């Protein structure tokens, strides 16, 4: 069996020796590719039953999937899988799996850090002092105490709930919008479910935690941004296209909100000409919210275990398209998880068990 990694993102970060040894133990071979276009992806995937995807912008589209004659599993090294056409994969009997437990701690930490940096103007103060200033920076709007202010969470999944728990000790009131959630589930976390309009109108801080789908693309639009207070801030650590970037830029230019902090943008890397780079009420980080030594270990372990399970005739752990009909019968993940001869696993210290 051949396994291809389409975009080899971690080659310079940690290499692929572990995956190579694991797959060899399974009687498979790993091919590392740097495919970017649809034609390159199809070419790199020929003869490969398993496809690994790391980049958020690698286009595993319907046009690609319809030409994948050998593929039986697509595994995404991430929580989000918006760049994979899941419906097309399902129609072809291809399983799509991902790593939903990956980086929840890191992304929630990053969202909290960005929010507090906005609230306390950390970046503005830092830049001012480095340019020779001291007490002479006029901050508008003026600094406000964080306690008793309102945090609005757009989406209330795993990461948003961690943000709520981490900011609750600061004394903030927490609102949440999630059309798929029972109000009682939010109440357990100390949050109140409200309409999207009320969340944007009442919140001092809006933190975005919704996946990117056709329904959520430009979900946060000019209409919602216009509801925000001139003293409020918005943070996005989910996906760039969830926010209408042109509308956000116009809102920030006109100082209709106090500021924004973005780890993600509509186009990545952010073009040098993008106006966001020149706005002094914006904090930008380069899509690194998910990154830590520990999170990279976690995602590698999850995907490695999913591939091992599939190669041995079991379902992967986190299947996106549960209604898919695979090309061969598969036993349950739970059965695989209990097997004693599993190769992909973590030791007591949370490190990948080395394979010789």
Which residue among the candidates 209, 239, 266, 308 is catalytic per the annotation? 239
For position 101, what pLDDT does the model report? 87
Q: What whole-number distance in Å separates Cα of residue 95 and Cα of residue 81?
A: 13
pLDDT tens-digit profile of 194-237? Answer: 999 999 999 999 999 999 999 999 999 999 999 999 999 999 99
Which residue among the candidates 197, 246, 268, 294 is catalytic per the annotation? 268
Radius of gyration of the chain from its Cα atoms, rounded to whole angstroms: 22
Q: What whole-number distance in Å separates Cα of residue 289 and Cα of residue 276?
A: 18
Question: Which one, of 218, 102, 232, 111, lies nearest residue 160 by Cα?
Answer: 111
For position 356, what pLDDT does the model report? 65
Does 287 participate in catalysis according to the annotation? Answer: yes
**Would you tell me which CATH number, out of the four given (2.40.50.100, 3.40.640.10, 3.40.190.10, 3.40.50.720), belongs to the domain 2-102+292-337?**
3.40.50.720
- Note down pLDDT in tens along the chain; length 356 residues: 899 999 987 776 678 999 999 999 999 999 999 998 999 999 999 999 999 999 888 999 999 999 999 999 999 999 989 999 999 999 999 999 999 988 999 999 999 999 999 999 999 999 999 999 999 998 999 999 999 999 999 999 999 999 999 999 999 999 999 999 988 889 999 999 999 999 999 999 999 999 999 999 999 999 999 999 999 999 999 999 999 999 999 999 999 999 999 999 999 999 999 999 999 999 999 999 999 999 999 999 999 999 999 999 999 999 999 999 999 999 999 999 999 999 998 888 888 888 76
Q: What is the pTM of this model?
A: 0.90
Strands 2-5 and 173-177: unpaired
Which residue among the candidates 266, 287, 300, 308 is catalytic per the annotation? 287
Does a cis peptide bond (omega within 30 degrees of 0) precede residue 248? no
Q: How many Cβ atoms from other residues are within 10 Å of residue 320's Cβ?
A: 18
pLDDT tens-digit profile of 52-83? Answer: 999 888 999 999 999 999 999 999 999 989 99
Does 187 participate in catalysis according to the annotation? Answer: no
Report, at the CATH architecture level, how domain 104-284 is classified. 3-Layer(aba) Sandwich (3.40)
Q: Which two tokens stand for residue 127?
A: 């830049």
Residue range(s) in the chain whose domain bears CATH number 3.40.50.720: 2-102+292-337, 104-284
Does 266 participate in catalysis according to the annotation? Answer: no
End-to-end CA distance of the chain: 20
Q: What whole-number distance in Å separates Cα of residue 62 and Cα of residue 83?
A: 10
């Amino acid at each position: 069996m051949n396994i291809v990694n389409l975009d080899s993102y971690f080659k310079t970060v940690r290499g692929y020796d572990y995956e190579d040894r694991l797959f060899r133990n399974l009687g498979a071979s790993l091919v590392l590719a740097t495919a970017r276009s649809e034609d390159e992806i199809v070419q790199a995937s020929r003869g490969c039953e398993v496809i690994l995807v790391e980049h958020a912008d690698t286009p595993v589209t319907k046009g690609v999937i319809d030409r994948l004659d050998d593929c039986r599993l697509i595994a995404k090294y991430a929580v989000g899988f918006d760049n994979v056409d899941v419906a097309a994969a399902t129609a072809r009997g291809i399983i799509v799996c991902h790593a939903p437990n990956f980086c929840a701690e890191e992304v929630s930490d990053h969202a909290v850090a960005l929010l507090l940096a906005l609230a306390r103007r950390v970046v503005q103060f830092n830049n001012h002092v480095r340019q020779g200033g001291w007490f002479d920076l006029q901050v508008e709007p003026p600094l406000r105490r964080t306690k008793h202010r309102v945090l609005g969470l757009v989406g209330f999944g795993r990461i948003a709930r961690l943000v709520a728990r981490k900011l609750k000790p600061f004394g903030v009131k927490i609102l949440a919008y999630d059309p798929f959630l029972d109000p009682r589930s939010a109440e357990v976390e100390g949050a109140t479910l409200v309409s999207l309009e009320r969340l944007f109108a009442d919140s001092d801080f809006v933190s975005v935690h919704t996946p990117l789908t056709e329904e959520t693309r430009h979900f946060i639009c000019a209409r919602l941004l216009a509801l925000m207070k001139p003293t409020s801030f918005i943070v996005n650590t989910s996906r760039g296209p969830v926010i209408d970037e042109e509308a956000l830029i116009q809102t920030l230019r006109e100082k209709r909100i106090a500021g924004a902090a973005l780890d993600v943008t509509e186009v990545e890397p952010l073009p040098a000409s993008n106006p966001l780079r020149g706005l002094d009420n914006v904090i930008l980080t380069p899509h690194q919210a998910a990154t830590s030594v520990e999170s990279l270990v976690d995602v590698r372990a999850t995907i490695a275990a999913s591939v091992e399970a599939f190669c041995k005739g079991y379902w992967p752990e986190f299947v996106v398209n549960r209604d898919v009909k695979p090309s061969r019968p598969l036993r349950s993940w739970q059965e695989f998880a209990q097997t004693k001869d599993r190769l992909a696993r973590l030791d007591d210290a949370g490190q990948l068990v080395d394979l010789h």
